[in-house]
Structure 1
Amino acid sequence: MSPLSRSLVVDRPGRHRLASGPPPEPGPGEVRVRVAAAGICMSDRELYDGHRDADYVRYPVVPGHEWSGIVEAVGAGVDPALTGRRTVAEGFRACGRCDRCRCGETSLCSAGYDETGFTRPGAFADHVVVPARLLHLLSDDADLRAAALLEPAAVVAAAVRAGAPEPGERVAVVGAGTLGLLAVQLLAAVSPGELTVIDPREERACLALEFGASDTRTPKRAEEVRGGYDLVVETAGAATTAADACLLARRGGRVVLTGMFTPGAVGIDPVHLSLSQLTVRSVFGAPSSAWSYAVRAFTAGLLDPAPLITHEFPLEQFAEAVALVGAGGPETGKVLLRP
Structure 2
Amino acid sequence: MSRSIVIDRPGEHRLIEGEVTVPGPGEVLVEVAAAGICMSDREVYDGHRDPGYVRYPLVPGHEWSGTVAAVGPGVDPALVGRRTVAEGFRACGTCERCRCGETSLCTGGYAETGFTEPGAFADCVTVPARLLHLLEDDADLRAAALLEPAAVVAAAVRAGRPSPGERIAVVGAGTLGLLAVQLLAASTPAELVVIDPRASRGEQARRFGAVEALTPDEARSAYGHFDLVVETAGAPTTAAESCLLARRGGRVVLTGMFAPGAAGIDPVHLSLSQLEVRSVFGAPSSAWSDAVRAFRLGLIDPAPLITHEFPLERFAEAIALVGGGDPATGKVLLRP
Which TM-score band applies after superposition, normalised by the shorter structure?
over 0.9
Unaligned runs of 5+ in 2: none
Distance between the aligned counterparts of 2:220 and 2:45, measured in 1? 36
Distance between the aligned counterparts of 1:49 and 1:285, measured in 2? 21
* SS in structure 2 at match of 1:190: coil
Q: Structure 1 residue 55 and structure 2 residue 24: aligned?
A: no
1:80 aligned residue: 77
1:67 aligned residue: 64
1:304 aligned residue: 301
2:272 aligned residue: 275
1:154 aligned residue: 151
* SS in structure 2 at match of 1:302: coil
- CA shift for structure 1 position 112: 1.4
1:189 aligned to 186, 189, 192, which one? 186
What TM-score, normalized by structure 2, do the two folds share? Answer: 1.00
Q: Deviations over 1:197-245 (max 9, x none)?
A: 0000000000000000011100001000100000000000000000000
1:14 aligned residue: 11
1:206 aligned to 198, 203, 207, which one? 203
1:229 aligned residue: 226
- CA shift for structure 1 position 336: 0.1
C-alpha RMSD over aligned residues: 0.3
Count of matched residue pairs: 336
Q: Structure 1 residue 252 and structure 2 residue 249: aligned?
A: yes
* SS in structure 1 at match of 2:49: coil
2:114 aligned to 112, 117, 126, which one? 117
1:282 partner letter: S
* SS in structure 1 at match of 2:36: strand
1:136 aligned residue: 133
1:88 partner letter: V
Distance between the aligned counterparts of 2:122 and 2:212, measured in 1? 40
1:179 aligned residue: 176
1:327 aligned residue: 324
Report % sequence identity: 79
* SS in structure 2 at match of 1:303: coil
* SS in structure 2 at match of 1:254: strand
What TM-score, normalized by structure 1, do the two folds share? Answer: 0.99
Q: Structure 1 residue 38 and structure 2 residue 3: aligned?
A: no
- CA shift for structure 1 position 179: 0.2
Unaligned runs of 5+ in 1: none
Distance between the aligned counterparts of 2:99 and 2:44, measured in 1? 31
2:165 aligned residue: 168
* SS in structure 1 at match of 2:65: strand
Q: Structure 1 residue 216 and structure 2 residue 213: aligned?
A: yes
* SS in structure 2 at match of 1:186: helix
* SS in structure 2 at match of 1:58: coil
1:240 aligned to 237, 240, 244, which one? 237
* SS in structure 2 at match of 1:136: strand
Q: Deviations over 1:42-63 (max 9, x none)?
A: 0000000000000000000000
Distance between the aligned counterparts of 2:88 and 2:140, measured in 1? 20
* SS in structure 2 at match of 1:232: strand
Distance between the aligned counterparts of 1:24 and 1:42, measured in 2? 28
1:104 aligned residue: 101
* SS in structure 2 at match of 1:222: helix
Distance between the aligned counterparts of 1:322 and 1:195, measured in 2? 32
* SS in structure 2 at match of 1:321: helix
2:309 partner letter: E
1:247 partner letter: L
1:328 partner letter: G
1:254 partner letter: R
Q: Deviations over 1:69-106 (max 9, x none)?
A: 00000000000000000000000000000111011000
Distance between the aligned counterparts of 1:119 and 1:70, measured in 2? 22
After the TM superposition, which segments of 4 or more aligned residues of structure 1 sit over 2 Å from their partners? none
2:279 partner letter: S
Distance between the aligned counterparts of 1:296 and 1:55, measured in 2? 32
